[in-house]
Amino acid sequence: MNVEFNQDQKLMQQSAREFAEKFVKPVAKKLDDTQEFPVELIQRAAELGFMGVAIPEEYGGAGMDSLSYTIMMEEIARYCGSTSVILSVNNSLVCGPLLKYGTEEQKQKWLTPLAKGEKLGCYGLTEPNAGSDCAGTKTNAVDKGDHWLLNGAKIFITNGSHADTALVFANTDPGKGNKGISCFIVDMKSPGFSVKPMHGKMGIRASGLSELVFEDVKVPKENLLGELHKGFKIAMTTLDGGRIGIAAQAIGLARGAFEEALQYSKERVQFGQAISNFQAIQFMLSDMGMKIDAARLLTQKAAWMKDMGQNYNQQASAAKLYASEIATWVTNRAIQIHGGYGYTNEYNVERYFRDARVCEIYEGTSEIQRLVVAANLLGR
């Protein structure tokens, strides 16, 4: 594994950074305040190729590697959690499985416009009663001969408010738990498909979080993704890839907060000197920087293993687990360094903290990540 980026990756980093500084940074606070989905910003991101980074060019993607994808995620999350999660869902949770499990026709029809960013995707796995344990999936699809009939509801669906295409996991063999789940590509304009925006979130408030409701939604037969009843495996491998993206997102958020805290500590004067002169502050800063570096290396290793075609299940979980936990810790320390000011929304650090917090929950809670790592360690 090479610790220096190659030229493609360096150029990707420059483009992502320029985009983030020029377009994301100025609106990040407003997005959090208004909770409005950043339609124009996502269009711009699409023009630059950020919606399908690691998807081959023949399917409308940029044809770059997973490491490049983590670079982009970090640069964007450095300023805005909402924007970065929107990109991550489209890239890893929707384009990812379509590439891996889709037929050639499905790739042409569904993947290409999503990777180009002409269409937006969302990922519908979680249900009110099936979170960490998707065996409890109640949404069901019934074989009606020439189509599937979909009924049920999904909850906590990022991009739901603005997406065109949903990957929906539904029960196709009731009573079989995980072994009876299948994955469907669903056109969100289908009759019977409705979306209810969810408000009142702590962080990443502009990510179009929604409830999806299916009432007799007809899904064409050819829209089954992968094999029948093998949806659980698709969900799990997809999350492996997704977790690398969330790890990078957590690192970006931690870095954004860290940079602000570092700067603030040099400017804030108490007891006649900059607070960065106090060892207590210095220790916080050094731990923050160190943890961010460690998380980044762990994440890059997982991405590198994915690019090498190795089994990266354990590393992706470890990276996501570590990065999300240090992101909560680092953003929390950033508030501490800012003192009372950090507790107000005059400064960005409280937003970084709120945005970072969810990284420990979605795409598998920290507890679930520990289970995954342990299962690998114990060979189960």
Ligand X SMILES: Cc1cc2nc3c(=O)[nH]c(=O)nc-3n(C[C@H](O)[C@H](O)[C@H](O)COP(=O)(O)OP(=O)(O)OC[C@H]3O[C@@H](n4cnc5c(N)ncnc54)[C@H](O)[C@@H]3O)c2cc1C
- Known catalytic residues? 363
Distances (CA, A) of 76 to 24, 72, 224, 365: 7, 6, 33, 23
Q: Which is nearer to another protein, 149 or 274 (CB)?
A: 274
| Region near another protein per CB under 8 A, out of 46-54, 144-152, 249-257, 305-313 | 46-54
Cβ atoms 341, 265 nearer than 8 A: no
Cβ atoms 211, 160 nearer than 8 A: yes
Q: Residue 94 interacts with ligand X (CB under 6 A)?
A: no
Q: Residue 96 interacts with ligand X (CB under 6 A)?
A: no
Query: Strand (E) positions, the chain?
Result: 121-124, 140-143, 147-157, 165-171, 181-187, 193-197, 210-220, 224-225, 269-270, 273-274
Integer Cα distance of 224 and 232 in angstroms = 13
Residue selected from 1, 14, 58, 103 as contacting another protein according to rule CB under 8 A: 14
Query: Strand pairing of 273-274 and 269-270?
Result: antiparallel
Residue selected from 13, 35, 126, 190 as contacting ligand X according to rule CB under 6 A: 126
Q: Which is nearer to ligand X, 164 or 307 (CB)?
A: 164
Residue selected from 53, 281, 288, 323 as contacting another protein according to rule CB under 8 A: 53
Per partner kind, with CB cut-offs from 5 to 8 A, the member of another protein, ligand X, none near residue 53 is another protein
Report how many residues bind another protein under the rule CB under 8 A: 22
Closest of 335, 338, 369, 336 to residue 353, by C-alpha:
335
Return the residues of window 54-113 that contact another protein according to CB under 8 A.
57, 62-64, 68
Binding footprint of another protein on the chain (CB under 8 A):
7-8, 10-12, 14-15, 18-19, 22, 47-50, 53, 57, 62-64, 68, 264, 267
Binding footprint of ligand X on the chain (CB under 6 A):
89, 123-126, 131-132, 156-158, 201, 204, 209, 358, 361-365, 367-368
